[in-house]
Amino acid sequence: MSIRLPLQYTYAELPEALFARLDPTPVAAPRLVRLNVPLAEALGLDPAALASAEGVAVLAGSRVPDGAAPMALAYAGHQFGQFVPRLGDGRAILLGEVVGRDGQRRDIQLKGSGRTPYSRGGDGRAALGPVLREYVVSEAMAALGVPTTRALAAVTTGEWVYREAALPGAVLARVAASHIRVGTFQYAAAQGDLDALRALADHAIARHDPAAAEAANPYRAFLDGVVARQASLVARWLLIGFIHGVMNTDNTSVSGETIDYGPCAFMDEYDPRTVFSSIDHMGRYAYGNQPRIMHWNLVRLAEALLPLLDADEERAVAAAKASLGAFSDLYHAAYLDGLRRKLGLAEAREEDAALAQDLLTLMAEARADFTLTFRRLSDAAEGDDAALRGMFADAAGLEAWLARWRARLEAEPMASGARAAAMRGANPVYIPRNHLVEAVIEAAVSREDFAPFEQLVDVLARPFEEWAGLERYATPPQPEERVTQTFCGT
Ligand code: AMP
Ligand code: MG
């Protein structure tokens, strides 16, 4: 049997400076860890074919399907504030694009698929741990309703990769609305290649902002679109306690999807200064800094787009400033809207921001678990506030806040059961807590036991439904289970 995938290559119509054509490097012994069957079906792919020996070989990069013409994409990026003019897919290859059942075009990328012209000193490979982390967390994000790249499959390669130690190698098949990053625009702009820049922008508009093509200034409309999507995205991150960890401009997608799960982590105890990434010494990408950094990244996008915004530089700068000026209001509106849903409020009142902020302050003082506090607040909407009270040593402070909250709820009469149900739909019970993720990686890497990984993926697919018997997945880490540092996905 010869596998056929309906792969397309609209990106290959762009100027050649933006990519390099090459095949993935075959691996010794591909073995399927997990195939995301519902995602494969949504993409119009045949899960049985993908799970066959030949399909697994394709997912591992050992076999190139008939008619495929894979490519590595070029991009630049600001890494921790420093501009690097040439990064690119150093350990990833775009297998091709597919149009899913919903009519949307998406990329299928193999991450860990071998060296490319953009590999610099790297080996082009990925270790099993980071591949499983990206699978778990990106799929959890999707289930939590956050725009994100998806995991189509994880395979092991039967080869070792050498980091501080020899680790089992793996490849992640990743699906994205596109892999066009802020850094992709920076790359085209830094080349001084205006034609490539314009072609890239037109391509991105066709994929992500088709309506912008009809606007008086399509490139301004595109920038407005990216600003709006990223303002909404970073608000969603904060609302579920997510810390990306490496918000470099090459890890910021113009589609508005979360991309590049490296040292990412979910916060347990609420503290806006939380940092997990072992390489983020200054706390640049701390939880509470993420909106500010996203704005910074968008300024870099606007700079790259300047020559397209207007032939007159002053007018171009004015257009960029107007577009970027919308970020703060869009972000704050999305964040406050989300906090209202978390508090069980459907209407907007002036005092809501302070009400939410005062709870967060109490949580920070109590070092209360972010996810569990809101989940137990959902129970409190039905009158059961014992578990919530148990989380706060400052009983009087919480008492006073609960009285304000209940008074505010009375302004929006609703059956308490319905309110609690709505709140439980906004406040997940299961998130990919760091200690859980580390434990499944440990089982897979050191014991070749993938059952804990499979179970965690399954639990996180339904993050809002609480089930008896799954308490372990809802509970913050015990002191000895705490994970304080995460490492990059290399
Ligand atoms: P990241 O910080 O993981 O987003 O990656 C930054 C850059 O380093 C990208 O250009 C990657 O392609 C490249 N890179 C990361 N790991 C490797 C590797 N093992 N081999 C080659 N390139 C890599
Ligand atoms: Mg990256």
Local confidence band at 1 (pLDDT 50, 70, 90 cut-offs): low
Q: What is the pLDDT of residues 47-100, one digit of tens each?
A: 999 999 999 999 999 999 999 999 999 999 999 999 999 999 999 999 999 999
Contact 155, 32 (CB under 8 A): yes
Q: How many Å apart are CA 247 and CA 27, to the nearest integer?
A: 31
Q: Which ligand is nearest to the CA of 92?
A: 1
Local confidence band at 355 (pLDDT 50, 70, 90 cut-offs): very high
78 CB less than 6 Å from ligand 1? no
Mutate to test the pocket of ligand 1, among 119, 162, 486 (most ligand atoms within 8 A of CB): 119
Please confirm, yes or no, whether 250 is among the known catalytic residues: yes
**Residues of the chain above pLDDT 90, percent:** 96
Contact 333, 326 (CB under 8 A): no
Mutate to test the pocket of ligand 1, among 25, 82, 87 (most ligand atoms within 8 A of CB): 87
CA atoms within 13 A on the CB side of 88: 24
122 CB less than 6 Å from ligand 1? yes
Query: What burial class does residue 410 get, using C-beta atoms within 10 Å of its C-beta: 0-12 exposed, 13-18 middle, 19+ buried?
Result: exposed
Q: What mean pLDDT is reported for the chain?
A: 97
- Eight-class DSSP state of 481: G
Q: Whose CA is nearest to atom 22 of ligand 1?
A: 90
Q: What is the pLDDT of residues 278-292, one digit of tens each?
A: 999 899 999 999 999
Could you identify the atom of ligand 1 that is nearest to the CA of residue 112? 19
Q: How far is the CA of 212 from the centre of ligand 1 (A)?
A: 32
Neighbours of 351 (CB within 10 A): 11
Q: Whose CA is nearest to atom 15 of ligand 1?
A: 490
Residues 6+ apart with CB under 8 A from 296: none
Q: CA 383 from chain center: how many Å?
A: 35
This model's pTM is above 0.75: yes
Q: What is the pLDDT of residues 144-168, one digit of tens each?
A: 999 999 999 999 999 999 999 999 9
Element (H, E) at 378: helix 370-380
Element (H, E) at 78: strand 77-79
Q: Whose CA is nearest to atom 16 of ligand 1?
A: 490
**Residues of the chain above pLDDT 70, percent:** 99
Q: Whose CA is nearest to atom 23 of ligand 1?
A: 90
375 CB less than 6 Å from ligand 1? no
Would you state the pLDDT for residue 22?
Answer: 98
Could you identify the atom of ligand 1 that is nearest to the CA of residue 489? 3
Could you identify the atom of ligand 1 that is nearest to the CA of residue 79? 2
Tell me how far apart the terminal alpha carbons of the chain are, to the nearest angstrom. Answer: 35
| pLDDT tops 80 at residue 117 | yes
Contact 75, 181 (CB under 8 A): yes
What is the token pair recorded at 183?
A: 């850094």
Q: What is the pLDDT of residues 173-197, one digit of tens each?
A: 999 999 999 999 999 999 999 999 9
